[in-house]
Structure 1
Amino acid sequence: MELLPVHTPEGFDPLELLKPLAAALAGEGPAVAPHVRADQTFDGALPNDEIAAVISTSGSTGIPKQTMLSVDALAASAMGTAFALKAEGQWLLTLPVHYVAGFQVLVRSLFAGTQPWVMDTSAGFTPEAFTSAAAELTDRVRFTSLVPTQLHRLLADPSPETLRVLRRFDRILLGGAPAGASLRSLARSHDLKVVETYGMSETCGGCVYDGTPLDGVELRAVDGRLRIGGSVLADGYFNAPDLTEEKFVFNAGERWFVTDDAGEVALDGSVTVHGRLDDVIITGGLKVSATKVSDVIEALPGVEQAMVLGISSEEWGTAVAAAVVGDVDTEVIRQAVHVELGAHAVPKAIVTLDALPLLPGGKPDRRTISTLLERA
C-alpha cells in the first residue's frame, strides 16, 4: 500500500486534502499522511491495503506517534458521530488537519456529502476570525469542533455576533483536554449546545460523547485504567510494531487500546474519565488529583484556565504546581485549595500567564508548562 505524505505548513489550504482523502477512502488512491514538519519522513511500508490515513498523535507528553487509520475505522467513526448527533451537516474547520480532530472534520464532510468551511487562522485563533467564518456557513445543520482554549477565548468577552453564531451551531464538539467546571457552566449560561468528547488519534478522535460511547464502541476499566475496543480502533502505529503490540492488546479474542487515562464504566456503559493516570500527584506520600485542584482554581473569580502538574521537589518528592490564566492573587488560590481539598493539595508553585502555551493542535503544552513551573 502506498503512502502519500502531505505537507501542511502554515498557510496550507486544508481543502487541498479533500481530493486525495476522498480517493483514499474509496480505495482508489494512496493513504494520506498530513504532517506539519518539513523534515518528517515516512520510511517503511503500510501493513495492508485498508489503511486510508496516517495521523500524528499530539505528542503532548513525548514524541508524536504515527497512527494508522483504516477506511472501516474512519467510516465507523463518521457514522457513529452522525448517529450520536442525530444529523449530518456542514462543518466549520478551526483545527489543524494534521491532527485527528481537524482531520475528522474533512472525513465527516466527505461521508456526509457536505462542503466544509475553513476558518482563516493566518493570525491565529481569534474570536473575530471564528465569527466571520461561522457566519459564512450555508447549511441548515451546522457543526464545529473546538478545544477548551478556543472556547475560552470565544467566551472571554463575547460580542453579540459571536454569541449569535455560536448559538447557531446544532452541536459544538469540545475535546482534546478537560473542559473544566467553569467553562462548562459558562457555555450553559450562553445556551450553547456543547458536547464533551473523549478520544484520541488511536480511536479516530472522539469516541465517547457526553459520557456515552459511540455506536460500536466499548470501554472497560482494568485496574482503574480505561481500555477502548470496537470498530473505531486504529490498526496500530506506523513502523513501530513493538509499540503497537504494547498498546493494542488482545483479550478473549477482542482487540483493545490501552489508554493512559483513569476512569470508570457504569453498568449501563456510560463512562466517567477521571483524567490522565499521571494526573494523580503523590506528594509527601499523599495522593492529589490534579483535576480536582484545577476545578477548585477555575471556580475562583478572575480565573480563566488552570493547569495543575506535579514537579520534582527535594522536600516532597513531587510537589503540586499550578499554571493559572487570569487575574487572581496566589494566596487566594492557596487558601481555596486548602479549604476544599486540604493542606497537602495546596500548590507549592504558582505561575500566572496571559495564556497557556499550546501545541499546534490546541492542546496545552504540558512539557513547556512543566518547565515554567520548575523554574518558579
Structure 2
Amino acid sequence: MSLSIFDAARDAPREPALITPERSFTFGELADLAARVETPSTLLGHLDVNTIVQLHACIAKRRPVVLVHPRWTARERLAARGRAPEDALAVVFTSGSSGAPRGVVLPRRAFEASARASAKNLGWQDDDRWLLELSPAHVGGLSILTRCLMDRKAVVLGSDLERSRATLVSWVPTQLARWLDAHPEQRAPQHLRAVVLGGAAASPALRRRARARGFRVLGSYGLTEACSQVSTEREPGDSSGAPLPGISVRLEDGCIQIAGPTLLSRYWDGECPLSEDGWLTTRDVGRFDTEGRLHVLGRVDDVIVTGGENVHPLEVEAVLESDPRVREACVFGIDDATWGQRVAAALVLTEAADANGVVAAADLADFKRPRELFVVSNLA
C-alpha cells in the first residue's frame, strides 16, 4: 500500500487512523483535514493533532519538510534554516560526533522500505494500534506514523498506556523505567502485545524488571541514517535482534556496517557517508551471537583501552547486571600510568551483596574485569 493519507482514505475511509482522548479520526476524516492545510517547509515536531495532520499533508502532497525538535533553543534551530531537497520525504536531525545537530536526508523509499521490513518482522494484527510517545522530530516517532499509514493502522496520541488500549508502543529505556517506577504494583496491560525498546542501551536488569511485570520487551537497534530500525527481536531476549528483512548488517573491525533500501540519501550539508557499494559505517560496535542476533556493545569512542586490549563498557555492564545481586552497573575507564586505562565500575547492589564477589563470579576475560569498584546507592 502507498504512503499517502489520500490513498488510505480511499482504501479504508471509515477505519480509525488517529485516536486521541478527545476523539478518533478515521482515515477519511484525516485526509479531509490534510487536504485543507498548508504544507510548511519546516515543522516543529509536537505530539499533537495539528502536527500529525500537517505531516500527513506534506507526505501525501510530496512536499519535503524539515523537522525540528520543539525543545530546541533558538540557537539550535538555526541548523534547520533552509528548504528540504526535493528528493526527501523529510530532513530529520541527529547528533553528529561534535554534538551539533546534523540534518539527514531521508527519501520516501527509505520510509516505505522501513515500514515493510518492520511489518515482516513484527507482523500486524487486526486490532493493532500503536501508541506514539516519541516526537515525530525523531525518526523513531516519525516512522511510527509512516508504518501505521502504510498498513492502514491507527496511531494513538496523548493517552497513557492503560487508557490507550494500544497493542504496541515504542519506548526508550528511560520511558520503560519511569512506567515501572510510577506503577510499582501494576502489571503490563493485557491489550499490549509488545514494547519495542530502542534509542539507547537497555540493561539486563531493566529487561528483567519489565518481564517480571508481564511486559513483552523486544530489543531493537536503529539510527536516523537508517530510517529507524535496523534490527529488532522477534521474541524477548537479551539482544537487539536479527537484521530486519531486506537490511544487511556486517562487522568491520567490530564496527557495525549497514546496507539496504532504508538508508539515507545523504546529509543535508551534501556529504554522502555511503561507500561506493552502498554501505554505511556507523560509530557503533557490536557482535553477532550464534543465532545471528546483533548485540550492540557501545560506541567506538566509549572503548576502554587497557594494556592494549579493547574493553566495551556496555558488554561488561550487561554481564555484571546479569547477576541478580546487581541492580545497576556503570563501567568506565580511569587513566593509569602502567596500563593506559584501568577498568572501573560503579555498582548498585542488593543489601547483602559483596562487590568483589560479584566481579569474581562474572563471566569476563581477565582484562575486562573491573579493577576498581565503587558501591553507590544510585547512578543518578
Instruction: Point out where structure 2 has 5 or more consecutive residues left out of the alignment.
Output: 1-38, 234-240
- Aligned to 1:233, which of 263, 271, 274? 263
Deviation at residue 256 of structure 1 after TM alignment: 1.4
State whether structure 2 residue 224 is matched by structure 1 residue 201.
Answer: yes
For 1:264 and 1:82, locate their aligned partners in 2 and report how far apart those are by CA, in whole Å. 25
Residue 64 of structure 1 pairs with residue 89 of structure 2: no
Assess, with a 3 A threshold, how the Cα gap between structure 1 residues 108 and 136 changes in structure 2: closer, same or farther. Answer: farther
Q: In structure 2, what residue type is equivalent to 1:86?
A: G
CA RMSD of aligned residues (A): 3.3
1:51 is paired with a residue whose SS is coil
Cα distance change, pair 311–240 in 1 and its aligned pair in 2 (3 A): farther
Contact 1:58-1:99 within 8 A present in 2 as well = no
Contact 2:104 2:225 in 1 (8 A): yes
Q: Which digits, 9 at most, give the CA deviation of each residue in 1:306-344, with x for residues without a partner?
A: 3323354555433434455x4558993354224423476
Q: In the TM superposition, what whole-angstrom CA distance separates every residue of 1:9-45 from its partner, at most 9, and x where no partner exists?
A: xxx4443321222123224323241323142122455
Post-superposition offset of 1:67? 1.3
2:369 corresponding residue in structure 1:
345
Q: Report the Cα distance in structure 1 between the residues aligned to 2:102 and 2:114, rounded to whole angstroms.
A: 20
Q: Is the 8 A contact 2:349 2:375 kept in 1?
A: no
Q: Select which of 220, 240, 244 maps to 1:214.
A: 244
What is residue 372 of structure 1 aligned with on the other side?
Answer: none
Choose which of 101, 111, 121 in structure 1 pairs with 2:140: 101
Contact 1:262 1:273 in 2 (8 A): yes
Q: How many residues get paired?
A: 327
Aligned pair 1:332/2:332, yes or no? Answer: no
Match of 1:183 in 2: 206
Residue number in structure 2 paired with 1:364: none
Amino acid at match of 1:217: I
User: Residues 59-81 of structure 1, C-alpha deviation per residue, up to 9 Å, x if partnerless?
Assistant: 68733322111111112112221
1:199 offset after TM fit, Å? 1.0
Q: Aligned partner of 2:171: which letter?
A: L
- Residues 64 and 84 of structure 2 are in contact (CA less than 8 Å); yes or no, is this contact kept in structure 1? no
1:32/1:354 Cα in 2 relative to 1: closer, same or farther (>3 Å)?
same
Q: 1:57 is aligned with what amino acid?
A: T
Q: Which residues in structure 2 correspond to 1:261-340 (within 5 Å)?
A: 261-264=284-287, 270-301=293-324, 303-314=326-337, 316-324=339-347, 326=348, 332-340=354-362
| Contact 1:264–1:273 (Cα < 8 Å) also in 2 | yes
Cα 1:58/1:194, change in 2 over 3 Å: farther
Could you tell me whether the CA contact under 8 Å between 1:220 and 1:264 is conserved in 2? no
Q: Distance in 2 between matches of 1:332 and 1:61?
A: 40
TM-superposed CA distance for 1:56, in Å, is: 1.8
Contact 1:152 1:183 in 2 (8 A): yes
Would you say 1:151 and 2:176 are equivalent positions? yes
Shift of 1:190: 3.2
TM-score, with structure 2 as normaliser: 0.74
Decide whether aligned partners of structure 1 residues 293 and 64 sit closer, same or farther in structure 2, where only a CA change above 3 A counts. Answer: same
Change (3 A) 1:306 1:344: closer
Partner of 1:137: 164
Q: SS of the counterpart of 2:41?
A: strand
Q: CA deviation at 1:346?
A: 1.4
* C-alpha distance in structure 2 between counterparts of 1:256 and 1:297, whole Å: 34
Q: Distance in 1 between matches of 2:249 and 2:116?
A: 18
**Larger-gyration structure (1/2):** 2
CA–CA distance in 1 between the matches of 2:154 and 2:287?
38
CA 234–86 in structure 1, closer or farther in 2 if over 3 Å, else same: same
CA deviation string 1:246-279 (max 9, x = no partner): x32122xxx1111112234579865343433344
Residue matched to 1:15 = 49
- For 2:87, give the aligned amino acid: E
Instruction: Give how far 1:143 is off.
Output: 0.6
- Residues in 2 aligned to 1:174 and 1:100: alpha-carbon distance in whole angstroms: 14
Q: What residue in structure 2 maps to residue 113 of structure 1?
A: 152
Q: Which runs of 5+ in 1 are unaligned?
A: 120-131, 357-376
Q: Residue 143 of structure 1 contacts residue 171 of structure 1 at CA under 8 Å; is this kept in 2?
A: yes
Q: Specify whether residues 65 and 351 from structure 1 end up closer, same or farther in structure 2 by C-alpha distance, changes over 3 A only.
A: farther
